[in-house]
Amino acid sequence: MDVGANIGLADTWTLDLHVGNQDVKNYDDYSYTDYLIGVTKDFGFMTGSLAMIGTDLDAAGDLGDNGLVLTIKKVF
């Protein structure tokens, strides 16, 4: 299951939301829920976004940690 939404806020700002769930049959240790909460800003010449991402996956050790991701995009 995967649900996401990009909600326009003001002018060039967007609120980014995501939640997903993966159910691994017969391997409950590898089933997990992941999420993303962030904002995106369109600067006209480029786009920047900042998001908090995470998961409740314990089996992967450091791979299941929460993190803050900064993205800068330029389309040519």
For 11-40, write each residue's pLDDT tens digit: 899 999 999 999 888 887 778 899 999 999
The class that CATH gives domain 2-73 is mainly beta
Say if residue 43's pLDDT is above 90: yes
Say if residue 62's pLDDT is above 80: no
Cα 21 from Cα 57, distance rounded (Å) = 11
Please enumerate in sequence order all residues whose Cβ is within 8 A of that of 26, keeping only pairs 6 or more positions apart, or say none. Answer: none
pLDDT of the residue at 48? 97
Whole-prediction pTM value?
A: 0.79
